[in-house]
Amino acid sequence: MTNCHSLFRIGRSLEQGKTMRKLFTIGIFALLTVVGCKKPFNPEAINGFSSALIVEGVINPSGVTNIYLSRTLDLDDKVVIKPEPKAVVQVLSENNTAVTLAEKTGGLYSIPALSLNSTQKYRLRIRTSAGVEYMSDALAVKNTPPIDKFYWERSPEGVGIYVDAQDSQNNTKYYQWDFEEDWEIRSIDSAKYSGVPGPMGGIAVVARDSKESALMFTCYKSQRSTNIDIFSTAKLSADVVSRHRVAFIPNISDKLSVRYSILVRQYALNFEAFEYLSMMKRNTEQLGSFFDAQPSELVGNIRNVSDKNDVAIGYIVIAPVLEKRLFITISDVPGWGFRLNCNTFPVKNDRDSLAVHFGPGAAYTPQYPVQNSAGGITHWTATPASCLDCRLRSGTNVKPAFW
Amino acid sequence: MKLIRNFILFISLLPCADVYAQQEPGVLSVDLKNATIKQLVSDIESKADFHFFYDARQLDSVRITVKIVSEPLAFILKKAFENTPVKFTIDPDRNVFLTRDKEIYASLPYGLFESEKDSSRIVNQKEPSTLATVYNQNEQGSVTSTQENKLVEIGIKTSEIQGGNVALAGYVRDAANGAPVIRAAVFTDAPRIGTYTDQFGYYSLILPRGAHTLNIKALGISDTKRRIMLYSEGKLDIEIKTQVLSLREVVVSAENSANVRNVQMGVEKLSIATIKQVPVVFGEADVVRVMLTLPGVKTVGEAANGFNVRGGAVDQNLILFDDLTIYNPSHFFGFFSAFNPDVVKDVELYKSSIPARYGGRLSSVLDVSSKDGNSRKLAGTAGIGLLTSRLNVEGPLIKDKTSFIVGGRTTYSNWLLRLLPEDSNYKDSKASFYDANVRLSHKINDKNNLYLTGYLSSDDSNLNSDTSYAYSNKNVSMKWKHVFSNKFTGVLVGGFSSYDYNTRSNINPVNAYKLGFDIKQVNVKTDFTYYLSPKHTLDFGVSTIQYKLNPGSFTPYAKESLIVRDIIAPEQAYESAVYFGDRFDLTSNLSLDLGLRYSMFNYMGPQSINNYAPGLPRSEPNLLGSTDFKKGDIVKTYHGPEMRFSARYQITEDLSVKSGYNTLRQYIHVLSNTAAMAPTDIWKLSDPNIKPQFGDQVSLGLYKNFKSNTIETSVEGYYKRLKDYLDYRNGAVLVMNHDIERDVINTQGKAYGVELLVKKLTGKLNGWLGYTYSRTLLRMDDPTAAQLINNGEYYPSNFDKPHDLTLVGNYRFSHRFSMSLNTTYSTGRPITVPVGKYFYAGSLRARYSGRNQLRIPDYFRTDVSMNIEGNHKIHQLTHSSWTVGIYNLTGRDNPYSTYFTSEKGVIKGYRLSVFGNAIPYVNYNIRF
């Protein structure tokens, strides 16, 4: 992959407050962008670094607390995540009373409700299955101001989704958001026929079971946010978050092909967590222009109690996690250009032609028959399978509970 | 022109090829009425094979009436010149010299040639040794010598040459435009006594009385000599001819054999003619880029602002433009240097022996001198390139007294940006820069000269109509040179330099901001030179700089903006120094250059200084409080001596060994944690929490010339230590940081290397080949740092590029056509790379380890260019030339930097290159 045009980017916002260095992700000038080039770079992997623990999550003093534990991977590892199972995860109060989170699947440790006292400090304690104990710094309970407004707006490039929030006490200053998106997708037509193995190794087209047709017609997709979204109002005279864009749906995305929903979670950070996350963001999301800061090591607030050089990745805070959801239906965004690319063509209704196009694992599905004047089927129209089966577009049939 | 032709004839004494048949040997007839000398000469030359030499100007008023039949020439001339001031001499080779008033002797006296030289005989000579006394004495009493073979008498003529030494001084100037020739070597061969002209072209020598041959060698001029007869103290101004157009040689060093003879080490000097020959990107002759082809000078990459000398950081270079400090020597974020090549005269880089008169930076001094305006006639140059156009006009205001030069350069890339396709992100971008220079030179009288220099450069870029970046240098200086006596000269300089930048964004009115920074300095300095004796030349002086710095202002940039005005308190300081140096010739083989500089830095109030618990990290929990200082209070003083020492031992005429030891102090620092220096980096003064940087360097070198000094070779090695260099905590925030001391960590550094250089100075094929092996390593040893980078181990600096090979070559096919080649190879620079990955906040992310543990791929680039001159007819309105070239001929996409990023949950590594293709360019230049 070569990209010779858009390697220069502009630091667009002041969300990092003090870290204005990112402003200097300078786009030089266009002539140079024409000649400058970005190319993949894959140095020999440096493996063999000892694996570190990753702790992700927010301790919610008044709701569900989810803590994810995982391990770092070597660069050439094929898996995306290596969960850390069988650990003991506890929230410790100042007088050492411990509340233990229950282990779920995939490295998730969860508790439906904690009731923490906002005048107290708490620590997170983790004992891994290998017996290594990690402890966080003592953490104060932060307050999170409510999401005042959660709304979307159409722009020429797509649909932006924004939050407004403010803290009249001027105490919050540092904000983080993440979100989950769910959307419905549909096939272009109900898949009424299917190619099934016929006599003598041939393929025959038969009517499909209507239940299966329904499953192929309507699906749901979901996605978690993939970027660290943080913002600071420290530089502003009021603790006001205005038109902060948390998500963006580019034009012709399938997210707005039927109906779309997004759940945003807002929580407050303290200054150190904000700095930590901005550094992580800078290291992993923002590099790529000539004047970027150099990447650097991260030091979080959870350490191995017996080896202070073993610092877990992640910065834990205690703050309420506030949620808001909105829905967008296709009729709200007239002229949304999503269209599946479904070129159909006729396939002769003979055994060999059908076998080529509609056999097991074939890329096409028979959509409807073409008949001659006598009513005999001469052809079947072949349609790309993904146009008639939404499950092939990585959709599932599990309808979200809130839908 | 006749005069020049005659001079050339005179100098070369070319035998004439065509011989006329004579009517009768020895005698001839002449019949002329009221004829000019010219008519007489052509009449005689047509009749006999005599060759006349004379200065037409001297004799053009003479009219001759003569009628003689069949007499010898001597008789004819004697008759013809009766009652005229014309004297004549006929030598055995039938050359006839006509002079006014004074006669030429056709045989030479003793003492003019070394083989004959014997001091006792000179002293005992009874006959006056005058050979020719053809000179122009001007009203101030100094002698201007423009001709090589004339003997110039200096001082009060005595019939006997007395013993003892006397001082000879004067200016070396360019005969064509009266411009001073800087750093020309002026020396006698026996005894070997020599000096260099200073920045005004002034020289002073202490010589024994008697006959001498003065050799004058300098960059861009033909080597020349003057014969003098020194009776007593006197002045000799020397006018020399520069080589013309592409007839000019590529001269890399100041003087042939200077590298062997000069006491200083690690001095590189390039003339603008050489600089213009080296191919550069977009054909924009670039002072700084060409410096990068010299051993020991490196850069992080093509978009880097500035350069690194012998392992020093970019801010450790003192960049002077006519004694003015230039804080940001670049345009377009570092792609071009901010010096207009048409007003630059030459560039000198001190990377090892830094003379005591310079100070304030650890690594090097880059001294860019601008041209003096043409003092004889109005002239100019203009150039058109792909990105910029230049115009430069110079000329006399008062002939031979006051001259000016005005130069300007601007870009029209805005126009190019508008040509971009509609869907390009850069359609609404704006990128502009310009620079302007003005210099006035005024000669008050023979003892006093005044120089006024003004410089302005400005950049303003608005990219993608989002954030605008603007920065600007503004400088002005006044210089007064006074000659106290032949042995004692002084210079007084007063100057003002300023640099500022701002970035603005108003994409979201609520967050619209303007961020600004500026630094201003006022400096006054005096430099004196005293030529104590042939063996000692003393330099001394004092200087002081007043700094005023606004470290940052962050202000709303729209009415609706909620941005809180935030201004970091201004900083102010004085940096003062006094220095003394002695260039001392111990024996004819051993010379020393001893220098001592004492510098002092006063950080001044008003200021509020944070106090931290001693021995603990400078961080918020360890903050004890702060102390307020009032205006005029001295907050903190740092001071200390700096040693500058170098020695040369000349083993043979073309082989010498040199060594040097230098210590330097630096009180002002750039704060930058980007890979390359960004135009928006800020400067910071040392304060109670930020110590000055200290560096020292030892170096040793061997210099050998071959083929009568046309090939120079050298090997230099150095070891350098840096103390209290500033590096940054991981994730440091440097902009608008009120407590910057919490984010910087004192770092130690060491740098060492070997530099090999082979230069060929003359001939059709010329150029240089340099190889450098060097390392630059840093180590954090600050006990007050909470977290040490790489656990306090040594790590390579960003510009640690061990191997570096550069070839710059030029081949002259004809006087009008030459080709240049520039090839560079270097090790890739260190980068910090991921050692693993992890999943966090919905994405796979890279896990970074220690700083600078891997390298980007090696760098290789070849550029070629062709220089095509228009015809060389001297009488035409303008002279034009073309430069056509290709930058990065092989099209190799040298990575500038790399980064790793998570895209849709997958970690991808990318490398960025600035110029991934071959880039052709063309430049058209005219002179008028």
Beta carbons of B905 and B842 less than 8 angstroms apart: yes
- What mean pLDDT do residues B844-857 have? 80
pLDDT at A327: 96
Same domain, A8 and A37: yes
Position A147 in a domain: no
Q: What distance in Å separates the CA atoms of residue B825 and residue B586, rounded to the nearest whole number?
A: 42
B896 touches chain A (CB under 8 A): yes
Residue written as tokens 């014997």?
Answer: B118
Residue written as tokens 């858009």?
Answer: A6
User: pLDDT tens for residues B181-240?
Assistant: 777 888 887 777 778 887 778 888 888 888 888 888 776 667 788 888 888 888 888 887
State yes or no: pLDDT of B18 exceeds 50. Answer: no
Position B107 in a domain: no
B557 touches chain A (CB under 8 A): no
For chain B positions 737-776, those within 8 Å of chain A (CB to CB) are 737
Domain of residue A376 covers 185-220+336-393
Reported confidence tier of residue B805, pLDDT bands at 50, 70, 90: very high
Same domain, A301 and A282: yes
User: pLDDT tens for residues B616-637?
Assistant: 777 776 788 889 999 989 999 9
Position B7 in a domain: no
Position A250 in a domain: no
For chain B positions 823-882, those within 8 Å of chain A (CB to CB) are 831-851, 853-854
Percent share of chain B, pLDDT over 90: 24
Size of interface A-B (CB pairs under 8 A): 279
Same domain, B337 and B416: yes
Q: Which comes out higher in pLDDT, residue B838 or B258? A: B838
End-to-end CA distance of chain A: 39
Same domain, A84 and A119: yes
The reply to whether residue B426 touches residue A30, judged by beta carbons under 8 angstroms, is yes
Nearest to B731 among A37, A52, A296 (CB): A296
Position A36 in a domain: yes
Q: In Å, how far is A41's CA from the nearest CA of chain B?
A: 5
Q: Which helix (H) or strand (E) holds A281?
A: helix A271-284
The reply to whether residue B832 touches residue A314, judged by beta carbons under 8 angstroms, is no
Q: Which of B100, B129, B155 is the last residue of a domain?
A: B100
pLDDT at B208: 84
Q: Which of A25-34, A271-280, A389-398, B851-860 has the lowest average pLDDT?
A: A25-34
Q: Which of A277, A295, A326 is the last residue of a domain?
A: A326
Contacts of A240 in chain B (CB under 8 A): 510, 562
The set of residues, in sequence order, having a beta carbon less than 8 Å from that of B564 and lying 6+ positions away, is A235, A236, A237, B554
Position B721 in a domain: yes
Beta carbons of B158 and B522 less than 8 angstroms apart: no
pLDDT at B754: 94
Same domain, B799 and B906: yes
Q: Which comes out higher in pLDDT, residue A229 or B870? A: A229
Contacts of B921 in chain A (CB under 8 A): none
Same domain, B442 and B506: yes
pLDDT at A299: 79
Tokens of B286: 């670039």
Q: In Å, how far is A171's CA from the nearest CA of chain B?
A: 16
Reported confidence tier of residue A137, pLDDT bands at 50, 70, 90: very high
User: pLDDT tens for residues B687-735?
Assistant: 998 999 999 999 999 999 888 778 889 999 999 999 988 887 766 777 7
B556 touches chain A (CB under 8 A): no
pLDDT at B359: 92
Q: What distance in Å separates the CA atoms of residue B923 and residue B884, rounded to the nearest whole number?
A: 6
- What mean pLDDT do residues A104-129 have? 93
User: pLDDT tens for residues A163-217?
Assistant: 999 999 988 999 999 999 999 999 999 999 988 887 777 788 889 999 999 999 9
For chain B positions 690-719, those within 8 Å of chain A (CB to CB) are none
pLDDT at A22: 30
Write down how long chain A is: 403
The reply to whether residue A10 touches residue B413, judged by beta carbons under 8 angstroms, is no
Reported confidence tier of residue B94, pLDDT bands at 50, 70, 90: confident
pLDDT at B557: 85
Position B895 in a domain: yes
User: pLDDT tens for residues B322-375?
Assistant: 888 998 888 876 777 888 888 888 888 898 888 999 999 999 999 988 888 888
- As a whole number, the mean pLDDT across chain A is 83
Instruction: Count the domains in chain A.
Output: 2
Q: Which of A251-255, B167-171, B850-854 has the lowest average pLDDT?
A: B850-854
Same domain, B208 and B295: no
Nearest to B674 among A73, A240, A291 (CB): A291
Same domain, A345 and A378: yes
Q: What distance in Å separates the CA atoms of residue A312 and residue A135, rounded to the nearest whole number?
A: 9
Contacts of A31 in chain B (CB under 8 A): 387, 413, 416-417
pLDDT at B216: 84
Same domain, B362 and B216: no
Q: What distance in Å separates the CA atoms of residue A227 and residue A246, rounded to the nearest whole number?
A: 10
Beta carbons of B513 and A14 less than 8 angstroms apart: yes
Same domain, A198 and A344: yes
The CATH number of whichever domain residue B583 belongs to comes to 2.40.170.20
- For B831, name the nearest residue in chain A, comparing CA atoms only: A294
Site from B845, B903, B917 to mutate, A interface, most A CB atoms within 10 angstroms: B845
Q: In Å, how far is A216's CA from the nearest CA of chain B?
A: 26
Percent share of chain A, pLDDT over 90: 50
Beta carbons of B365 and B371 less than 8 angstroms apart: no
Q: What is the ipTM of this complex?
A: 0.83
pLDDT at B201: 82
Rounded to 10°, the helix B73-80/B37-47 angle is 170
Q: Which of B65-74, B298-307, B505-514, B684-693 has the lowest average pLDDT?
A: B298-307
The reply to whether residue B854 touches residue A46, judged by beta carbons under 8 angstroms, is yes
Same domain, A72 and A207: no
Q: In Å, how far is A75's CA from the nearest CA of chain B?
A: 5
Dihedral angle of Cα B32, B34, B37, B39, to the nearest 10 degrees? -50
Give the global pTM.
Answer: 0.68
Beta carbons of B62 and B86 less than 8 angstroms apart: yes
Strand, helix or coil at A106? Answer: coil
User: pLDDT tens for residues A350-389?
Assistant: 888 888 888 777 788 998 888 888 888 898 999 999 999 9
Site from A41, A155, A167, A246 to mutate, B interface, most B CB atoms within 10 angstroms: A41
Same domain, B235 and B291: no
pLDDT at B463: 59
Domain of residue B75 covers 27-100
pLDDT at B674: 64
Same domain, B374 and B283: yes
Same domain, A34 and A99: yes
Same domain, B573 and B438: yes
- What mean pLDDT do residues B128-151 have? 49
Q: What sign for the dihedral angle of Cα B840, B844, B850, B851?
A: negative
Closest CA to B627 of B648, B603, B644, B646: B603
Percent share of chain B, pLDDT over 70: 82
The CATH number of whichever domain residue B39 belongs to comes to 3.55.50.30
Q: In Å, how far is B837's CA from the nearest CA of chain A?
A: 5
Same domain, B216 and B285: no
Q: What distance in Å separates the CA atoms of residue B88 and residue B77, rounded to the nearest whole number?
A: 8
pLDDT at A286: 58
- What mean pLDDT do residues B652-673 have? 88
Instruction: Count the domains in chain B.
Output: 3
- As a whole number, the mean pLDDT across chain B is 79
The reply to whether residue B335 touches residue A28, judged by beta carbons under 8 angstroms, is yes
Nearest to B848 among A19, A37, A296 (CB): A296
Tokens of B784: 């007050």
Contacts of B511 in chain A (CB under 8 A): 13-14, 236
Q: What distance in Å separates the CA atoms of residue B393 and residue B382, rounded to the nearest whole number?
A: 9
Same domain, A40 and A128: yes
Reported confidence tier of residue B419, pLDDT bands at 50, 70, 90: low
Nearest to B303 among A11, A21, A290 (CB): A290
Same domain, B237 and B283: no
Same domain, A11 and A131: yes
Q: In Å, how far is B346's CA from the nearest CA of chain A?
A: 29
- What mean pLDDT do residues A272-280 have? 85
Contacts of A291 in chain B (CB under 8 A): 303, 333, 674-676, 678, 680
Planar angle of CA B357, B363, B368, nearest 5 degrees: 60
The reply to whether residue A295 touches residue B900, judged by beta carbons under 8 angstroms, is yes
Contacts of A293 in chain B (CB under 8 A): 673-675, 731
Write down how long chain B is: 928
Reported confidence tier of residue B509, pLDDT bands at 50, 70, 90: confident
The CATH number of whichever domain residue B198 belongs to comes to 2.60.40.1120
Position A331 in a domain: no
B786 residue type, one letter: A
Q: Which of A326, A357, A374 is the last residue of a domain?
A: A326
Same domain, B94 and B183: no
Q: Which helix (H) or strand (E) holds B20?
A: none
Same domain, A306 and A384: no
Nearest to B917 among A19, A35, A70 (CB): A35
Same domain, A2 and A121: yes
- For A296, name the nearest residue in chain B, comparing CA atoms only: B730
Position A230 in a domain: no
Nearest to B836 among A36, A40, A74 (CB): A74
Contacts of B793 in chain A (CB under 8 A): none
The CATH number of whichever domain residue A52 belongs to comes to 2.60.40.10
Contacts of B831 in chain A (CB under 8 A): 294
Same domain, B417 and B459: yes
Q: Which of A2-11, A112-121, B728-737 has the lowest average pLDDT?
A: A2-11
Q: Which of A296, A326, A356 is the last residue of a domain?
A: A326
User: pLDDT tens for residues B236-293?
Assistant: 888 877 654 333 333 333 344 566 667 777 777 777 777 777 777 666 778 888 888 8
Same domain, A281 and A358: no
Tell me the backbone φ, ψ of residue B873, rounded to 5 degrees.
-60, 130
Position B256 in a domain: no
Q: Which of A130-134, A242-246, B468-472 has the lowest average pLDDT?
A: B468-472
Reported confidence tier of residue B1, pLDDT bands at 50, 70, 90: very low
Reported confidence tier of residue B14, pLDDT bands at 50, 70, 90: very low
Tokens of B845: 């992310």
Q: Is the peptide bond before A112 cis (omega within 30 degrees of 0)?
A: no
Beta carbons of B358 and B323 less than 8 angstroms apart: no
